[in-house]
Structure 1
């Protein structure tokens, strides 16, 4: 591999020429357009470029333009594009063809030659820039994520890339890499942010974290002040809890965004979602998420939170991960958090010694021609919508979401309700537990009895008219009929009935599955 080129005085570069684009800024917990102040919600996908191939995945399967258009066609608006430090500090002049030859992956190289032949003679630096250009030309915003130092699969406690000072994570070289990328893309209208480092791990030294996070974030801001600077926490990006006692203390002129990750296997093994009562497991995981990361949007001086990684096995056979996803989506949609799904890629050119490796979490299938799971598009529909607008003067009401399917509760035009898409959701007013669920016209949701579809009625009092957000998970909507708690329940693809509530009486010992009765009240002030 070629030697690194000198990056002399990069740490002391001053401001460069800004692009003509409208950069993003922060306003409290929200990300906004710097010029208009309008909220911009990041609904992103992750695309790997940090791995041994040192180029974006998928270029061996489809032309770059097609890949970008596939992302846009699914209503995502940005890409978290990963990169490794050594790509720019040690191997910038290596050609992609030579990199692939060095890995001895002829099948992959032939795929690149077929679909994107121009990349084979490009240097690592030029190839990365070309990918960013291709994504930007499709209208996608790009966040450049420093994923790791070595070009390799991430992340292990023992890979030497986990924390400042590890054998492959030298702070000075890391700063050089950040500086190069910040400078190199200072002109690019669609590069809206840079993250400092993915999934710090192996140490809980908050003092060292504060030192280098400040150095890195201020360096990026000096060189490229138009960018959002995305800062991760400790323990694989799960923990920012130490900011409760001592906040970060700066926002770089409204450019700092905090990030977090969450998977079914974060913390305890994912088997908790099948070995514990589901309402209990969901509540415990979400409470931990709030304590360690979710709280940052609710602090006295809040920051935006970017959920820059979450995902699950889209083949559908992992019961624990399926349950996690429904639980998790209810929370992030309810809080209207910015996010990036892991991952877009259907396969990897090279991963852990193998070529053309399938990604079971990938939105695309291994052929990169169709969705691995068509259900995901519906599940994420409401997550992509701006539900809370800091500029809105409208009252707060609620959308009723069934998080397992991603469908919203809507009027059926026949005096009842049904499940459908969330493009034009029905809005409900609910002032608290034990109050009616009201529509704009004063009508209310009312139980017609156990096993029957609920009705929309002018009668807003009496049996079956008052609704409570029930269960430990706060995901069941219950009312009383004849002294018995009954809950909304998804009966079929679109139909909803009211049935005896699952697991409410003895939640700690009930292992029945309540997901058919999971409905989340999502606050919104956007009509």
Structure 2
């Protein structure tokens, strides 16, 4: 978990989510579509402010839980520069990790940053911290934190539940001084052979009550079993706490959460099957309006060389957009002070490069920016559809200069009406999307002759019978213009890439 002292920064944080790795927290760094009023609450599946307006969390993960116990990157850039960079990338909050022993081990907490880094042989990193953040080296670890295994399940050798609750209470109390701390995650990635549902309910309820009693303003965020991939037990058994409108559940989903499956089959089948499993294990909470679901960790290798990640990414983008989940990307950091015994280890899943100065992959950031948009606002009235293209993170628009149907920012997406008759009608007009034929752009016509069906297991191919009698799918050409082509990769072929033809129907009343 971590706290940020906003008084030290030129671009103050507003929302901080605190996460415990042995626990995690949220800090807002930018606009959140509306100016949130007071503490945050839940309203069925939504996170809302005191006025009942939806607040969508679009976060980055920023670790401080590793051995040095200091927010990563302070040896590379000044803290306010990092904060401004987070905001410039379009994110509005930070999910900040913290080690439990920081608040339960007095001698450790009183150690200075200088002493900690010298003891780990991190003299070069310490020099960088002194140069970029001169206020930090002489602070104790706990004060620096305010600025900014056998340990997998309750009762494990290094996981004392009583110590854990005590740590949660201390951090929740510390967070009362900082109104930008809006949530606390009780525990990151529960796992291991001792994992069981009964103990999950026992200790999660105990931890939630402890946090809320100490700091009733924060959201209380609960993780699931099996590295936070499984909350399915909540379908049959509710969690009972004495307070209301503060519980949020979180889930993690990486390509490696499914082993090597992403490289081993037809991508339409893989996306459909794995998405269905994620929905059964966690997504049902939001879809059934039971609780907000926070996709608190997902990410890909920013170098673009991981085949599994490359196939997984458009699938998770499609699901996160269509479900309109709150999220936190793993991760911000381009490097670590010390990880797995390696000094200055580079993090290829980081949004920033190893010097924390530039975005590692601008194309990836563009795709992620589509998730930052709150597609649905409260109240849920005047809903329409937009066509989201997960391969690019863009949406279908119908704008100047040519009035052609093309891909552009989802903030300028064309609104469509799509109902049981399966016609796509441009909202506010009498024009319908009509398929002409292969390798030809669809057109807007006054008659509704094309019925658009989802035809693949991924649920992302929009297919219709064209005017020439052929069956085609929506596609995109090399210039970002909408065309139609023969549907590809619907089944069988394991190497075929269907993603140029993937379009998610996203419900919206804000775009």
Taking structure 1 as the reference length, what is the TM-score of the superposition?
A: 0.87
Deviation larger for 409-418 or 181-190: 409-418
- Work out whether 1:370 is the aligned partner of 2:355: no
- Provide, for residues 297-337 of structure 1, a one-character-per-residue CA deviation record: whole Å limited to 9, x for no partner: 134x6010011000000111112201101100100110101
Quick one: distance in 1 between partners of 2:441 and 2:398?
Answer: 12
Partner of 1:122: 139
What does 1:264-303 correspond to in 2, within 5 Å? 264-266=255-257, 268-270=258-260, 272-299=261-288, 302-303=290-291
- Work out whether 1:485 is the aligned partner of 2:471: yes
Of 223, 237, 260, which aligns to 1:246?
237
CA spacing shift, 1:432–1:403, aligned 2, 3 Å: farther
8 Å Cα contact 1:408-1:420 kept in structure 2: yes
Partner of 2:502: 518
Of 342, 349, 357, which aligns to 1:361?
349
Of 33, 38, 53, which aligns to 1:22?
38
Partner of 2:390: 403
8 Å Cα contact 1:416-1:454 kept in structure 2: no
Deviation larger for 339-348 or 202-211: 202-211
Deviation larger for 316-325 or 286-295: 316-325
Report how far residue 124 of structure 1 moved. 1.0
What does 1:298-317 correspond to in 2, within 5 Å? 298-299=287-288, 302-317=290-305
Unaligned 5+ runs, structure 1: 1-19, 132-158
Does the residue aligned with 2:98 lie in a helix, a strand or coil? strand
Quick one: distance in 2 between partners of 1:80 and 1:161?
Answer: 21
Does the residue aligned with 1:379 lie in a helix, a strand or coil? helix
Report how far residue 509 of structure 1 moved. 4.8
CA spacing shift, 1:437–1:477, aligned 2, 3 Å: farther
Quick one: distance in 1 between partners of 2:476 and 2:38?
Answer: 44
Report how far residue 287 of structure 1 moved. 0.7
Quick one: distance in 2 between partners of 1:251 and 1:274?
Answer: 46
Quick one: distance in 2 between partners of 1:483 and 1:424?
Answer: 32
What does 1:98-247 correspond to in 2, within 5 Å? 98-131=115-148, 159-202=149-192, 203-247=194-238
Partner of 1:31: 47
Deviation larger for 205-214 or 420-429: 420-429
Quick one: distance in 2 between partners of 1:337 and 1:436?
Answer: 25
Of 304, 316, 324, which aligns to 2:312?
324
Partner of 2:68: 53
Does the residue aligned with 1:114 lie in a helix, a strand or coil? helix
CA spacing shift, 1:21–1:170, aligned 2, 3 Å: farther
Give the paired residue count.
Answer: 471
Partner of 2:112: 95
- Provide, for residues 446-470 of structure 1, a one-character-per-residue CA deviation record: whole Å limited to 9, x for no partner: 1221111111222222xxx221122
8 Å Cα contact 1:437-1:467 kept in structure 2: no
Report how far residue 251 of structure 1 moved. 7.2
- Provide, for residues 235-268 of structure 1, a one-character-per-residue CA deviation record: whole Å limited to 9, x for no partner: 00000001111111347221000000000010x3
- Provide, for residues 42-86 of structure 1, a one-character-per-residue CA deviation record: whole Å limited to 9, x for no partner: 000000001101010010000111111110111101000000100
- Work out whether 1:350 is the aligned partner of 2:367: no
8 Å Cα contact 1:415-1:455 kept in structure 2: no
Does the residue aligned with 2:309 lie in a helix, a strand or coil? helix
Q: Indicate the RMSD between aligned Cα atoms, in angstroms.
A: 1.6
Partner of 2:453: 468
8 Å Cα contact 1:430-1:438 kept in structure 2: no
Report how far residue 118 of structure 1 moved. 1.5
Quick one: distance in 1 between partners of 2:129 and 2:198?
Answer: 45
Partner of 1:69: 84
Does the residue aligned with 1:285 lie in a helix, a strand or coil? helix
Partner of 1:148: none
- Provide, for residues 83-128 of structure 1, a one-character-per-residue CA deviation record: whole Å limited to 9, x for no partner: 0100111111010111101111111111111111221110111101
Report how far residue 179 of structure 1 moved. 0.6
8 Å Cα contact 2:415-2:427 kept in structure 1: yes
8 Å Cα contact 2:293-2:325 kept in structure 1: yes
8 Å Cα contact 2:186-2:222 kept in structure 1: yes
Quick one: distance in 2 between partners of 1:226 and 1:264?
Answer: 35
Report how far residue 274 of structure 1 moved. 2.3
Quick one: distance in 2 between partners of 1:436 and 1:107?
Answer: 60
CA spacing shift, 1:211–1:494, aligned 2, 3 Å: same
8 Å Cα contact 2:437-2:470 kept in structure 1: no
8 Å Cα contact 1:415-1:457 kept in structure 2: no
Report how far residue 192 of structure 1 moved. 0.2
8 Å Cα contact 2:463-2:487 kept in structure 1: yes
